[in-house]
Chains A and B, each alone.
Chain A
Amino acid sequence: MTSSRTATLQWASLLALTTITFQIAQSGMSGWGFILPILLIILIKGRIVIDRFMELQGVAGPFRWIVLGWLITVLGLIAFAFHLTGDL
């Protein structure tokens, strides 16, 4: 598969995941079944952008892990904050 076709597949995946987030948002759900899938989708989308669009996968040095670590830390603390309110 050429790199442009791979990029197109990644773009389509990001759009599909965004649509799923919107559908979950419109479903009227709440609690674990609502928040965790959305956070997981953010993580997957973020990893596609970090590893493929930003081209950090396979790069020498700590930058990939710093940016991925940023994403995981932010999402983890958001989950913890929602857990404190009883939403999780």
Chain B
Amino acid sequence: MAAISSPLAVPTARRELPGDLAMWCFILAELAVFGIFFITYAFARSANVAMFDESQQHLNRTFGLVNTFILITSSYFVVRAVESIRHDRGQACARWLGAAIACGALFLVLKVVEFVAKYEAGITMSTNTFYMFYLFLTFFHFMHVILGMVILGAIALKARAGGYSRASHAGAETGAAYWHMVDLVWIVLFPLIYVLH
């Protein structure tokens, strides 16, 4: 089993798509929307580099770093939840999902603290184009975190009630895929908005 010891190791067998096909279509649509905004941000920046770079310096990178740690950790908890249900451990699955939801809640609290700090500094979407992108993209992602938490919560309740089994757990995989998409988007968003200049 040495082949799977690396984070990027290649499994050999072809498998079915985990979760529901409809959710994967939704995920692709979401990625397309975020992708368009990311690319638009990058090209909008090229029209006014000095303003974007100066405004970026007022963002709290440490908040972004901590929030990245939190979302990555929540994704790990979701991986463990899916693994648990594949071993018929519904209660453990619910506990891992509860931990992931707690991470999501912490992420939201930190984002609210960040938003309030910007509001108190008089920064709004009208301040300049950089802040328009920053506030819009982070708030748009914020709403996806909330939706993801609702989905994970529903899955946790069903897992706790014994609604999933080793043989039937596509719902858990579907919710997990959505949550990982939220994580993937943040993995691009954080360095793009907070770091790259």
5 contacts across the A-B interface (CB closer than 8 A): A53-B75, A53-B79, A56-B17, A70-B28, A85-B49
Partner of A78, one of B14, B42, B83, B173: B42
B118 within 8 Å of A (CB atoms): no
Assess whether A9 is in contact with B7, with CB atoms less than 8 Å apart. Answer: yes
Contact B17 A59 (CB under 8 A): yes
Q: Report whether over half of chain B's contact residues are helix, strand or loop; otherwise say mixed.
A: helix
**Interface with A: B66-74, B105-113, B144-152, B155-163, which one?**
B66-74
Q: Is the CB of B7 within 8 A of A52?
A: yes
Interface string of A57-88 (1 = CB under 8 A from B): 11111010011001101110110011011010
Min Cβ gap B31→A in Å is 5
| Stretch of B122-130, B135-143, B164-172, B186-194 with 4 or more beta carbons under 8 angstroms from chain A | B186-194
Q: B5 near A7 (CB under 8 angstroms)? A: no
Q: What residues make up the interface of B, taking CB atoms closer than 8 Å to A?
A: 1-2, 4-18, 24, 27-28, 31-32, 35, 38-39, 42-43, 45-46, 49, 61, 65, 68-69, 72-73, 75-76, 78-80, 83, 173, 177, 180-181, 183-184, 187-188, 191-192, 194-197
Q: A48, B8: Cβ atoms under 8 Å?
A: yes
Interface residues on A, range: 35 or more
A41, B72: Cα distance in complex, Å: 14
| Cβ-defined contact, B7 with A48, below 8 A | yes
Are the CB atoms of A6 and B187 closer together than 8 Å? no
| A82 B195 Cβ-Cβ under 8 A | no
A35 to B177, alpha carbons, bound, how many Å? 29
Query: For B2, B61, B187, which residue has the most chain A Cβ atoms within 10 angstroms?
Result: B187
**A1/B35 in contact, CB under 8 A:** no
* Contacting pair A59 B15 (CB below 8 A): yes
The smallest C-beta distance from A27 to any residue of chain B, in angstroms, reads 11
The reply to whether B39 and A6 contact each other, CB–CB distance below 8 Å, is: no
Measured between beta carbons, the chain A residues less than 8 angstroms from B27 are 67
Contact of A84 among B4, B46, B79, B192 (CB under 8 A): B46
Q: A11-B72, A46-B184, A46-B187 are in contact. Are A6 and B5 (CB under 8 A)?
A: yes
What's the nearest-Cβ distance from chain A to residue B40, in Å? 9
Residues in B whose Cβ lies below 8 Å from that of A49 = 75, 180, 183-184, 187
A59-B68 contact, Cβ under 8 Å, with A49-B187, A67-B31: no
A49 to chain B, nearest CB (A): 5
A6–B8 Cα distance when bound, in Å, is 10
Q: Which of A7, A45, A82 contacts B76 (CB 8 A)?
A: A7
- Beta-carbon nearest neighbor of B61 in chain A: A25
